[in-house]
Amino acid sequence: MKRTQDWGDDLVLAALTRSTLKDSTEALIRRALLSGAMRPGEIYSANSLAARLGVSNSPAREAMMSLVNKGLLELVRNRGFRVVELTDRDRQEVYDLRRLIEVEAVRRVAEQGVDADQAALLRDLGERTVAASGGHDMVEYLEADQRFHAALVGMLRNTRWTAIVENLRDQSRINGSYHLQERGRLESSALEHRDIAEAVVAGDPARAAELMVRHLNYARP
């Protein structure tokens, strides 16, 4: 009986290890997409990415299929995976959805109120985006920005809502997340996080929603 139990535990451990490896590989590929290291329109094989990342083919392919499902890559039959190239219509669709979903999320969080710990978290994450905006690592800024918005929407305690927002934000960034930097708006966009956080902490839904609409203007096609 003990041997059967051990065998079962080993299978669980193997499954967890496989899942963790796939997730970490997916995170690395996502970072490459956001950084521009993987270029829109280019085709990448799971084998070549696996070799570059130092992992086996299986988790690399699983990670890339997951990113296909999230709209960041597309499968090219018998060739590999291509970085999705968004059209103006695609960008407009993503922007419209973010206006509907993200703004309403922020409004609801402000309406329901946040406690002292949540208020401190929002302020801290907001300041981290401001700090990151002054550096030279754009991906670091994007990750700090993502953490702020994910934490904010996450206060609704609706995991599907949070996942949708995170995915839409990634989709809006894979084809040129550097326009804020190029337009000299990176720091001003980061500073808007402070105002959004304070409106939420103050329990002002109308103000929070208004600020969020303005904050999303950078993503308008």
Query: 180 and 97: one domain?
Result: yes
Query: 72 and 118: one domain?
Result: no
In this predicted structure, what is the pLDDT of residue 155? 98
Whether 191 shows a pLDDT value over 80: the answer reads yes
Query: 77 and 95: one domain?
Result: no
The Cα–Cα gap between 155 and 110 comes to 10
User: Which of 83, 117, 142 is the last residue before a domain boundary?
Assistant: 83
E-only strand ranges, 41-193: 43-44, 73-76, 80-83
Query: 96 and 74: one domain?
Result: no
Q: Which amino acid is at 6?
A: D
Query: 195 and 98: one domain?
Result: yes
Does residue 41 come out as left (phi exceeding 0), alpha (psi in the -120 to 50 range) or beta?
left
- Domain extent, residue 121, equals 88-219
User: What tens digit of pLDDT does each residue of 110-144 get?
Assistant: 999 999 999 999 999 999 999 998 877 788 888 99
In percent, how much of the chain has pLDDT > 90?
57
φ/ψ of 108, rounded to 5, equals -70, -40
Token representation of residue 134: 């002054």
| Cβ atoms of 46 and 60 closer than 8 Å | yes
The number of helices, as runs of H, and strands, as runs of E, in the chain is: 10, 3
User: What tens digit of pLDDT does each residue of 39-60 get?
Assistant: 888 899 999 888 888 888 888 9
Whether 182 shows a pLDDT value over 70: the answer reads no
The Cα–Cα gap between 137 and 219 comes to 20
φ/ψ of 135, rounded to 5, equals -95, -170
The Cα–Cα gap between 62 and 20 comes to 12
The Cα–Cα gap between 116 and 114 comes to 7
Query: 98 and 191: one domain?
Result: yes
**Number of domains the chain contains:** 2
Instruction: Count the residues in the chain.
Output: 221
Query: 98 and 78: one domain?
Result: no
